[in-house]
Structure 1
């Protein structure tokens, strides 16, 4: 892997460390401003809603413009808005609505930065190094978001709330500067789409995704898994934490479980390429999703801390491995000139179910109980795995992108 990937990876590591601080710190700061669950939940919504609103547009722009420049501008925007929020906090002028506005703007910038980052990575490494490169990026994301960013946010909220914005602002600024070290241009077609409406480019991406059998199946399955997992983990804390829960952990024990999950995810990210080389890409991907789905039953059938922690590690291993393989597969299957748009369309389908799943999990738990949510979510995951198994059954013993990839697996079957 060359110089450009090194700068890209370093920039990704810093920006994800900033993401981790902001993701955990903003809700903690909101709790100090209000005790309303609805208002506090708006902070999380402000961070994720931009994906539903701007993902398709970000993908279309990534296919028209220089992807590195988009990332630099997005990091500059995040630096500016968070520096302003930090100054307001330092002066005692920051309130909940200004906090929401800062998180929302930073979230919009994240959509453009992350969409371009996934589209630019194949331009920095050879095709046969994609899985390894994505594994390194995924491990950096996990370390930044969970291992370092989350505990750092807790310290900053207590020590100096203004630093909760100042630290990410500095990190985003440094991430943008590192991208300037990447040589060359990262715009595919200088004249692409100059006189076409943006909605035409978006429509082309949606049609391509829907007509491609493998990509369509992966997107639908990812959407089902994300919806089910969002429902599961929205109420899982009630199953695990407290005297009246099934497992009876203290809050600190739940945090330790999340650390175990993160450790497994880092390991899974680094080992995904090796596993795919041994078992095959399709077999590893489907097997990882199947194991991850079945593991959801373990805390239900055996509600014990002694089984919960190793289960969390395995959740992280197989979940991260599947994520790396899915990203690498998309980057290989989607033509370079469509990569930003189709990638963002895929992520929209895959992520759209998350807020719905979280809300659905709470409603079902109120009327049918926690166990019904946990078992029902497992069932939805298994149905999704069955769908993708059927779509990939003829490719289990060979690479997902082996010839004749596009001619065999495209079409509206």
Structure 2
């Protein structure tokens, strides 16, 4: 597990990152537009009738489950590839293949109704490529950006994601309405809707991102040594990732805390619907608000909170010392927000609780990513980050299943409040843990690893 001493980020690294961030942001918006449009296609083209609610629910659920399971199953493979292949090449291949696949799907939709099984295969393929791209991109930050800018860089990527989520529905809706806006003239008259236009935009955005990426100098560490075949490499790489973490308790404790927070907050979209339906029923009736109007208020405030949180960390740049506080303080705030949203019966106070809960998430995530990127040797980041993603994301479907299942027999508000208390307890314990408090101290963390038989 010995690591090589690689040179620091190049002097032009921040300019390179800005170009990479800008091009990948365009692609990210395109992907959100495409995802929204696919869901519309399933609901309006494949299963549009009232008696098709069951297959519609199963189809939409299959999309979500496929994306979630892929993130867990493919993480070790993607991490291994990121450390064994030039990372720029991985990103280029993923962008180009995603662009070609998406343009191909758009062409099929222009010509015929695409069956669900083919849409699901398309989602699996493009989501898989996205995971490999993510592994290569995340492990490239420390090769490009100076360490003091890592938190800001991660915050900017968080902002892009939140901004994409905010504007994608509007863009997708406009593109889907193109045939209607143009009154179905000429060949447009044969189109059921403009969903293919949304995929066309996404496909082009992938190819533009690949074009910009091809012009950038993205350093990559020397590839990991071959241990005798892909299966042997994957086994060794997964073992290396786990061993690295188990020998470094500060990082391991931090990861466990993130997994707990993800368990409690993963079902926020579910919370919105459950709370609007049950907890806020009396107050929205007293205010004369319909269910859709109340849900729209809460959903809008949640999206706004996420975007403002990302914008804040991008502008601020995060803590330069004791960055762990940039994780733990937001954890306490998120927990308090969950308690408030679970106990509040007021529409606007609940909306404020959602805003507060998600506002601090990009701040916490950016600080966390910055710490990991600074602590883990750059040539090991693909494999170590793979284990990190597996553990952190494994609790997401568990959290969704837990809340959905428990809420069938218990009021959702108290359940959410209890999860908020759990988050606050974990955050407090980590604040009081001297080992976690020194997670920023690389010499201390590596010293613990050496004492446990590491390098």
Q: Does 1:128 align with 2:140?
A: no
Mean CA deviation greater in 296-305 or 361-370? 296-305
Match of 1:272 among 313, 323, 332: 313
1:62-73 matched pairs, under 5 angstroms:
62-73=82-93
Q: What are the Cα deviations for residues 30-85 of structure 1, in whole angstroms up to 9, with x where unaligned?
A: 22222321222112222332111211110111011111111111111111111111
Q: Residue 172 of structure 2 corresponds to which residue in structure 1?
A: 153
One of 243, 248, 257 as aligned partner of 1:207: 243
User: Is the contact made by 1:228 and 1:357 (CA closer than 8 Å) also made in structure 2?
Assistant: yes
User: Per-residue CA shift, 1:230-281, capped at 9, x if unaligned?
Assistant: 3454243121158973553632443343333333333323433748438841
Pair 1:79–1:283, CA change in 2 (3 A): same
Describe the shift of the 1:365–1:232 C-alpha distance in structure 2 as closer, same or farther (beyond 3 A).
farther
Aligned to 1:380: 422
Q: Would you say 1:193 and 2:226 are equivalent positions?
A: yes
**Counterpart for residue 125 of structure 2:** 105
Q: How far apart, in 1, do the equivalents of 2:220 and 2:227 lie?
A: 13
Quote the offset at 1:191 in angstroms: 6.0
What's the counterpart of residue 262 of structure 2? 226
Q: Does the alignment pair 1:84 with 2:84?
A: no
Counterpart-to-counterpart distance in 2, 1:277 and 1:190: 32
Which residue does the alignment assign to 1:173? 207
Aligned to 2:113: 93
- 1:400 matches 2:440: yes
Q: Is 1:236 paired with 2:272?
A: yes
Q: Is the 8 A contact 1:27 1:44 kept in 2?
A: no
Contact 1:4-1:181 at 8 Å conserved across structures = no
- Give 5+ residue unaligned stretches, structure 1: none
- In our comparison, the structure showing a higher alpha carbon Rg is 2
CA displacement 1:158-216 (0-9 Å, x = unmatched): 440111321111111111111112125x3311463374622211210121122221221
Partners of 2:327 and 2:306 in 1: how far apart? 15
Tell me: CA distance 1:87–1:252, structure 2 relative to 1, closer, same or farther (3 Å): farther
Which residue is equivalent to 2:357? 315
C-alpha distance in structure 2 between counterparts of 1:17 and 1:100, whole Å = 21
Alpha-carbon distance between aligned partners in 2 of 1:279 and 1:180, rounded to the nearest angstrom: 35
Out of 361, 369, 389, the residue aligned to residue 403 of structure 2 is: 361
Cα pair distance change 1:215/1:402, threshold 3 Å: closer
In the alignment, what sits opposite 1:332? Answer: 374
Q: Which stretch shifts more, 164-173 or 326-335?
A: 164-173
Change (3 A) 1:195 1:189: farther
1:281 aligns to what?
A: 323
SS in 2 for 1:193: coil
2:275 counterpart SS class = helix
Q: Specify whether residues 411 and 142 from structure 1 end up closer, same or farther in structure 2 by C-alpha distance, changes over 3 A only.
A: farther
| Contact map agreement 2:100 2:203 (CA 8 A) in 1 | yes
CA distance 1:150–1:115, shift in 2 (3 Å): farther
Mapped to 2, the partners of 1:190 and 1:208 lie a distance apart of 18
Q: State the partner residue of 2:26.
A: 14
Indicate the residue corresponding to 2:159 in structure 1.
Answer: 139
Where does the alignment leave 5 or more consecutive residues of structure 2 unmatched? Answer: 1-12, 48-52, 179-193
Quote the residue 1:4 is aligned against. Answer: 16
The root-mean-square deviation of aligned C-alpha atoms, in Å, is 2.6
Tell me, what secondary structure is at the counterpart of 1:180? Answer: helix
Secondary structure at 1:366 match in 2: coil
Equivalent residue number for residue 39 of structure 2: 27
- What is the CA deviation profile of residues 289-319 of structure 1, one whole-angstrom value per residue up to 9, with x for unaligned ones? 0110111121232222221333333223211
Aligned partners of 1:87, 1:256: CA distance in 2, in Å?
Answer: 37
> Cα–Cα, structure 1 residues 242 and 173, in superposed 2: closer, same or farther, change >3 Å?
farther
> Which has the larger displacement, 250-259 or 174-183?
250-259
**Distance in 1, Cα, partners of 2:426 & 2:450:** 20
- Structure 1 residues 175, 401: CA separation in 2 closer, same or farther (over 3 Å shift)? farther
- Pairing 1:163–2:204 present: no
In the alignment of these two chains, the number of paired residues is 408
Question: Does 2:86 match 1:50?
Answer: no
